[in-house]
């Protein structure tokens, strides 16, 4: 989802009729619980595969998708919007005369599906005239009829809207009681019912669930005219509604007293903390710009990993396919061949679409490839990229890495970021022990403002909470902090990563890429990490 | 078929309004038909055509509101969507900020429709791609671009007798040209209502020149510089600033337009007096629908006049609460300027930096609208009125509220499209002093 759609959905003062086209048609809550029968999907898929083959396709894949979304948007004691949407249809991709062709239809009759398959073949044949080299597809062995579902405990779509409204309004009331001036809280729930079939002999039925519960708590000091917001410290996850049933074991109290969450989230407790911390921000001292050692909490680091490692190691960007929009990458193939030192020896970063509870977790990607884990940076050295079936040969790979995704049945699947995570350190190290060794530093919790150049060299990141570290102690909250990096220098300045017991996930629910734009959801795991000598700027300004 | 005539749209909406048994009913019917072509590495990568139509129905029982949408328009489907909306309304909690449906509005048609744009063919799109790819191939350059054209209609109606219908069409083109060694990069963009005014062959030369001219960029120290910002370079900053123009947000104390001690800065002079921005749905170069998302009629609205804040957006609820009149929310931003081109501004500059475009703009601090982002695809050093040499890209940390106080000169406004903005904009090239660059970027 782009920012514009997000604002349409959550913005106050906009009519309820404005439902971004992206979400499909609005439906009643009970319709979110039904599914299309697998036998029907197989029958339709076979129609498409047959029509494509007889039209001259050498390869065909069919995606029959039903994409369900529910959003609840609240502020203080009011529900601003409750939206249920559904989008379903068939997307058919073929190779004919060595070129790709794609067509999609919301009409799921056999005639319409066959027609779309023939149309995809015709488009492929037309595109073949402009194609310099035929598509080279890494082989995939058919898996027959299989199914997979996100291992959720409580289907969020089954939870009555009233319970969700009560939850959010309870959270808001708690924040207001704790001194917040304003609070917005939101629930985003997604269920992708995806059926994939291909001429390789696969029929894969997957039921994917995701949840996100963001909130913003604002404190206003009318006398000084100052306002500060502290966002919630939850992360979007590939989990069911059980994510919002907070378990005590998932509460993590950090050095200095801030509380973050592991695999379940206490939204109300976080709202209370957010109100208190937002008020503290109003009088927190402004940072003195300069070089600091940074201790970055996983609730923050995920976004730095996403922007400075996840994106530059997408092979389509490296090759130039995204040059006009998202950009290219500094991490060029010659650097990979020369064993480029992307980070310090402490830095091992891996891609993984199998980690349970993550946004990217599926059993098979959107071209029927079994998902896997692989290293991108090993002990600081660039060792791999993220590639799909028609790119694998460029890296000399025998198979795709399984990171192909389309955000809708009507979108063409393409290379998208896998969950990309910083491996925890091997030696025992807790955040408290790490901070003990820092003389002059800043401890950053939660993600804030972010911006990076089109080759992913120069980035600037803010955060939610900034704590001064003096002589090994977390002393006080400070404000107006942003750090600026040059990607390789930053990762080479990583001197320590805490151990596995501190490993937690953050993630993006709406990562955008492509023209026309598509979104995807991706998680990034890490343990608290230390980066020495990072340039911190002061972001306070005066408007006079 | 996804483009309905006024008569067809009215017939569907009339049926919907009559079917509703709720206290009030509003409906909107939209359809669009659009095509696009994408290319990279001097080759077409994807091209497609999408057409779709949908009907949204919103009903209210007292303060309980329900919305449902559908993309089938036979009688049974229309009945089903109205009943669905009514069912949802009965289940919904009361909205304490409920406002009744708008009264009948008088809409004066605006020139959003251009026949040629609505008739763009796949062959035309392919020719745009070819016009970019061919000269690049010949010149050891690599083109990556995207062209899209859209034809749509919007129709609205409610149980108070309001009705509006209008067709629109527009095109958007961007192309990035890079040298094959990756050392130079240039860019061109064109956003137009009328495709007849578009000349890809001519426009691509801008990107080609910038790509070739930006090879071997020199590094300048970050700091405060006089900059010549092409219209695309400031559009994102100005558009971002507009989020602070929400009256409720300002009154609540969480906008740069909030007043110390309470209230807002409406009527205060905050920018250089050469800064004047208004909205006008009937502007010949940047026409937009004569109604906003809520159906309120748009008016020619001064937003900033000679540096003074003349407008804040009052939602209907907030207007009612504050005793103000709610008017249609602007769909365009027209900033006044002069007659000079970007190159004329360069000629009058002793020392400065020419910025083609800015990229990845994000809010750093909403208190001051401090934004960060980077220059991209053509940044040059100017000396004695001439472009001397290409320079490396910079990251900026700057507030448009400060930038609009540091105006040296404004050129002739041009229409600018921006992926992340809800506005159609007319923005002049600007010469600005003391623009704050905080670090260098090695990105080309």
What span, in angstroms and rounded, lies between the C-alpha atoms of A46 and A540?
61
- Answer yes or no: is pLDDT of A537 > 60: yes
> Which of B42, B417, B425 shows the shortest CA–CA distance to B198?
B417
* Nearest chain B residue to A461, by CA: B364
What span, in angstroms and rounded, lies between the C-alpha atoms of A40 and A110?
10
Note whether B93 contacts A: Cβ–Cβ < 8 A.
yes
DSSP tag of B236: H
Q: What is the mean pLDDT of residues A446-458?
A: 97
CA distance B315 to chain A (A): 5
The pLDDT of residue A31 is 61
CA distance A217 to chain B (A): 12
Average pLDDT, chain B: 95
> pLDDT per residue over B141-198, tens digit each?
999 999 999 999 999 999 999 999 999 999 999 999 999 999 999 999 999 999 999 9
CB-CB neighbors (< 8 A) of A462 in chain B: 364
The pLDDT of residue A32 is 59
Element (H, E) at A250: none
Q: Between A224, A321, A457, which is nearest B441 by CB?
A: A457
Q: Do B43 and A77 touch (CB under 8 A)?
A: no
The pLDDT of residue A11 is 33
The pLDDT of residue A129 is 78
ipTM: 0.93
> pLDDT per residue over A70-88, tens digit each?
889 999 999 888 777 778 8
CB-CB neighbors (< 8 A) of A449 in chain B: 362-364, 372
What span, in angstroms and rounded, lies between the C-alpha atoms of A476 and A478?
6
The pLDDT of residue B54 is 86
**Distance between alpha carbon A391 and the CA centroid of its chain, in Å?**
22
Report how far apart, in Å, the C-alpha atoms of B14 and of each of A269, B18, B72 are.
Answer: 50, 6, 16
Which one has a higher pLDDT value, B81 or B307? B307
The pLDDT of residue A20 is 37
- Low-confidence winner among A263-267, B67-71, B107-111, B228-232 (lowest mean pLDDT): B67-71
- Answer yes or no: is pLDDT of A290 > 50: yes
Note whether B24 contacts A: Cβ–Cβ < 8 A.
no
pLDDT band at A195 (very low <50, low <70, confident <90, very high): very high
pLDDT band at A522 (very low <50, low <70, confident <90, very high): very high
> pLDDT per residue over A162-188, tens digit each?
899 999 999 999 999 999 999 999 999
Instruction: For B337-395, give the DSSP string.
Output: --S--HHHHHHT-SEEEEEEEEEEEEEEETTTTEEEEEEEEEEEEEETTEEEEEB-EEE
pLDDT band at A30 (very low <50, low <70, confident <90, very high): low
CB-CB neighbors (< 8 A) of B70 in chain A: 25
Going across the sheet that includes A381-382, the strands are: A381-382, A373-378, A349-352, A420-422
- Answer yes or no: is pLDDT of A9 > 50: no
Residue A212 has φ and ψ, to the nearest 5°, of -145, 135
A contact test, residue of B2, B67, B271 with most A CBs within 10 A = B67
B contact test, residue of A312, A543, A544 with most B CBs within 10 A = A543
The pLDDT of residue B200 is 98
For chain A, list the domains and their CATH numbers.
3-212 (3.30.2290.10), 290-538 (no CATH)
The pLDDT of residue A164 is 94
HSE at residue A104, side-chain half, CA atoms within 13 A, is: 22
* Nearest chain A residue to B314, by CA: A13
Return the structure tokens found at A447. Answer: 């993600």
- Low-confidence winner among A221-235, B294-308, B411-425 (lowest mean pLDDT): B411-425
- B residues 31-50 lying closer than 8 A (beta carbon) to A: 36, 38, 40-41, 43-48, 50
Note whether B132 contacts A: Cβ–Cβ < 8 A.
no
Q: Give the residues across from A243 on adjacent strands.
A: none
pTM beyond 0.90: the answer is: yes
Q: What is the mean pLDDT of residues A245-273?
A: 98
What span, in angstroms and rounded, lies between the C-alpha atoms of A270 and B441?
37
Residues A176-179: contacts with CB under 8 Å, at least 24 apart: A176/A76, A176/A275, A177/A272, A178/A271, A178/A272, A178/A275, A178/A276, A179/A219, A179/A275, A179/A276, A179/A279
CB atoms within 10 A of CB A485: 23
Three-state helix/strand/coil letters over A307-352: HHHHCCCEHHHHHCCCCCCCCCCCCCHHHHHCCCECCCCCCCEEEE
> pLDDT per residue over A319-342, tens digit each?
999 999 999 999 999 999 999 999
**Residue count of chain A:** 544
The pLDDT of residue A131 is 75
Q: What is the mean pLDDT of residues A257-261?
A: 98
Percent of chain A with pLDDT over 90: 84
Note whether B178 contacts A: Cβ–Cβ < 8 A.
yes
The pLDDT of residue A15 is 31
Note whether B99 contacts A: Cβ–Cβ < 8 A.
no
Q: Which residues 6+ apart lie within 8 Å of B110 measured at CB?
A: B166, B281, B282, B287, B288, B289, B290
Per DSSP, which regions of A199-278 are E strands?
A: 202-212, 215-221, 226-231, 251-253, 259-261
* Beta carbon pairs, A and B, within 8 Å: 229
> Which of B402, B405, B427 shows the shortest CA–CA distance to B189?
B427
Instruction: For A109-136, give the DSSP string.
Output: SHHHHHHHHHHHHHHHHHHHTT-SS---
- Answer yes or no: is pLDDT of A19 > 90: no
> pLDDT per residue over A102-124, tens digit each?
998 888 889 999 999 999 999 88
The pLDDT of residue A36 is 79
What span, in angstroms and rounded, lies between the C-alpha atoms of A241 and B206?
53
Q: Between B28, B176, B444, which is nearest A324 by CB?
A: B176
- Answer yes or no: is pLDDT of B44 > 50: yes
> pLDDT per residue over B68-88, tens digit each?
888 778 899 899 889 988 987
Note whether B88 contacts A: Cβ–Cβ < 8 A.
yes
Which one has a higher pLDDT value, A16 or A363? A363
- Answer yes or no: is pLDDT of A26 > 90: no
- B residues 282-301 lying closer than 8 A (beta carbon) to A: 293-295
- Answer yes or no: is pLDDT of B369 > 70: yes
Q: Between A25, A449, A516, which is nearest B69 by CB?
A: A25
Q: Do A3 and B313 touch (CB under 8 A)?
A: no
- Answer yes or no: is pLDDT of A34 > 90: no
Q: What is the mean pLDDT of residues A387-411?
A: 95
CB-CB neighbors (< 8 A) of B69 in chain A: 19, 25-26
Q: What is the mean pLDDT of residues A293-299?
A: 98
CB-CB neighbors (< 8 A) of A457 in chain B: 441-443
Report how far apart, in Å, the C-alpha atoms of B3 and of each of A16, B76, B170, B171 are.
Answer: 23, 21, 15, 17
pLDDT band at A23 (very low <50, low <70, confident <90, very high): very low
Cβ density class A220-232: b for 16+ within 10 Å, e for less: bebeebbbbbbbb
- Answer yes or no: is pLDDT of A1 > 70: no
Q: What is the mean pLDDT of residues B348-370?
A: 97
The pLDDT of residue A25 is 52
CB-CB neighbors (< 8 A) of A516 in chain B: 36, 148
* Nearest chain A residue to B68, by CA: A26
- Answer yes or no: is pLDDT of A435 > 70: yes
The pLDDT of residue B418 is 78
The pLDDT of residue A85 is 77
Report how far apart, in Å, the C-alpha atoms of A387 and of each of A303, A316, A488 are.
Answer: 21, 8, 22
Q: What is the mean pLDDT of residues B308-334?
A: 96
pLDDT band at A14 (very low <50, low <70, confident <90, very high): very low
CA distance B60 to chain A (A): 12
Q: Do A225 and B252 touch (CB under 8 A)?
A: no
What span, in angstroms and rounded, lies between the C-alpha atoms of A487 and A466?
21
Q: What is the pairing mode between strands B64-70 and B43-61?
A: antiparallel
């Amino acid at each position: 989802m782009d920012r514009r759609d997000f604002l349409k959905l959550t913005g106050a003062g906009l009519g309820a009729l404005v439902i971004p086209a992206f979400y499909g048609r609005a439906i009643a809550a009970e319709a979110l619980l039904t599914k299309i029968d697998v036998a029907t999907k197989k029958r339709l898929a076979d129609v498409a595969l047959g029509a494509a083959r007889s039209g001259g396709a050498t390869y065909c894949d069919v995606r029959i998708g039903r994409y369900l979304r529910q959003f609840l948007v609240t502020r203080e004691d009011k529900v601003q919007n409750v939206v249920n949407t559904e989008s379903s249809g068939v997307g058919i991709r073929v190779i004919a005369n060595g070129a790709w062709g794609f067509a999609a239809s919301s009409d799921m009759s056999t005639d319409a599906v066959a027609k779309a398959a023939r149309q995809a073949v015709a488009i492929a044949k037309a595109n073949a005239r402009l194609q310099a080299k035929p598509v080279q597809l890494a082989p995939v062995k058919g898996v027959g009829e299989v199914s997979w579902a996100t291992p959720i405990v409580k289907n969020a779509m089954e939870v009555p809207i009233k319970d969700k409204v009560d939850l959010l309004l309870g959270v808001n009331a708690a924040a207001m009681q704790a001194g917040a001036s304003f609070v917005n809280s939101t629930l985003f729930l997604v269920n992708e019912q995806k059926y994939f079939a291909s001429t390789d002999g696969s029929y894969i039925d997957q039921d994917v669930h995701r949840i996100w519960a963001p909130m913003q708590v604002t404190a206003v000091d009318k006398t000084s005219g100052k306002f500060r917001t502290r966002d919630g410290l939850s992360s979007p996850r590939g989990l069911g509604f059980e994510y919002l049933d907070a378990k005590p074991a998932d509460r993590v109290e950090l050095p200095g007293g801030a509380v973050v969450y592991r695999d379940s989230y206490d939204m109300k407790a976080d709202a209370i903390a957010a109100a208190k911390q937002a008020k503290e921000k109003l009088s927190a001292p402004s940072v003195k710009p300069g070089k600091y050692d940074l201790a970055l909490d996983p609730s923050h680091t995920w976004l730095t990993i996403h922007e400075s490692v996840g994106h530059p190691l997408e092979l389509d960007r490296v090759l130039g396919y995204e040059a006009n929009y998202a950009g290219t990458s500094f991490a060029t193939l010659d650097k990979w061949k020369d064993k480029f030192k992307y980070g310090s020896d402490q830095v091992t970063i891996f891609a993984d679409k199998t980690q349970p509870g993550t946004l990217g977790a599926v059993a098979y990607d959107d071209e029927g490839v079994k998902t896997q884990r692989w290293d991108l940076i090993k002990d600081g050295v660039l060792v791999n990229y993220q590639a799909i079936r028609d790119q694998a040969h460029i890296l000399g790979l025998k198979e795709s890495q399984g990171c192909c995704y389309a955000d809708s049945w009507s979108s063409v699947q393409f290379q998208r970021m896998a969950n990309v995570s910083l491996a925890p350190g091997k030696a025992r190290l807790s955040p408290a022990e790490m901070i003990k060794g820092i003389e002059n530093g800043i401890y950053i919790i939660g993600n804030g403002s972010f911006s990076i150049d089109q080759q992913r060299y120069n980035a600037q990141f803010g955060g939610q909470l900034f704590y001064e570290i003096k002589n090994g102690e977390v002393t006080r909250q400070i404000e107006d902090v942003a750090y600026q990096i040059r990607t390789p220098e930053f990762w080479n300045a990583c001197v320590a990563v805490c151990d596995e017991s501190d490993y937690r996930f953050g993630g993006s629910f709406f990562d955008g890429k492509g023209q026309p734009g598509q979104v995807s959801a991706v998680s990034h795991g890490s343990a608290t990490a230390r980066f020495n000598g990072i340039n911190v700027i002061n972001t306070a300004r005066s408007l006079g | 078929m996804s483009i309905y005539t006024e008569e067809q749209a009215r017939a569907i909406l009339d049926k919907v309004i009559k079917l509703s048994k709720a206290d009030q009913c509003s409906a909107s019917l939209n359809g669009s038909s659009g095509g696009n072509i994408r290319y990279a590495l001097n080759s077409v990568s994807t091209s497609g055509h999408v057409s779709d139509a949908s009907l949204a129905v919103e009903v209210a029982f007292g303060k309980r509101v329900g919305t449902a949408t559908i993309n089938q328009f036979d009688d049974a489907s229309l009945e089903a969507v109205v009943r669905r909306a009514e069912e949802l309304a009965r289940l919904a909690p009361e909205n304490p900020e409920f406002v009744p449906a708008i009264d009948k509005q008088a809409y004066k048609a605006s020139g959003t429709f251009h026949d040629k744009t609505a008739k763009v063919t796949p062959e035309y799109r392919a020719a745009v791609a070819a016009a970019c790819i061919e000269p690049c191939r010949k010149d050891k350059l690599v083109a990556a671009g995207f062209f899209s054209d859209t034809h749509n209609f919007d129709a609205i109606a409610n149980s108070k007798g309001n009705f509006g219908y209008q067709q629109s069409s527009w095109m958007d083109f961007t192309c990035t040209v890079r040298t094959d060694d990756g050392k130079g990069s240039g860019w061109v963009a064109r956003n137009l209502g009328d495709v007849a005014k578009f000349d890809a062959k001519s426009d691509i030369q801008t990107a080609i020149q910038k790509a070739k001219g930006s090879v071997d960029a020199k590094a300048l120290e970050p700091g405060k510089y006089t900059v010549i910002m092409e219209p695309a370079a400031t559009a994102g900053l100005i558009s971002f600033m507009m989020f602070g123009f929400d009256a409720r947000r300002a009154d609540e104390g969480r906008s740069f337009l909030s007043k110390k001690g309470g209230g807002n800065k409406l009527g205060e002079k905050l920018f250089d007096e050469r800064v004047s921005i208004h909205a006008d749905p009937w502007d010949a170069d940047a026409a937009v629908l004569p109604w906003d998302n809520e159906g309120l009629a748009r008016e020619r609205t001064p937003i900033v006049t000679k540096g003074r804040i003349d407008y804040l957006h009052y939602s209907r609820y907030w207007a009612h609460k504050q005793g103000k009149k709610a008017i249609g929310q602007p769909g365009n931003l027209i900033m006044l300027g002069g007659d000079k081109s970007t190159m004329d501004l360069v000629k009058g500059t002793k020392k400065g930096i020419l910025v083609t475009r800015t990229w990845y703009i994000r809010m750093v601090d909403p208190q001051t609208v401090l934004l960060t982002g980077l220059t991209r695809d053509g940044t040059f050093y100017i000396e004695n009125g001439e472009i001397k040499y290409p320079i490396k890209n910079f990251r900026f940390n700057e507030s448009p509220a400060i930038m609009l106080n540091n105006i040296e000169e404004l050129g002739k406004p041009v229409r600018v499209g921006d992926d992340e903005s809800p506005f159609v904009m007319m923005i002049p090239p600007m010469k600005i002093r003391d623009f704050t660059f905080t670090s260098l970027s090695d990105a080309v």
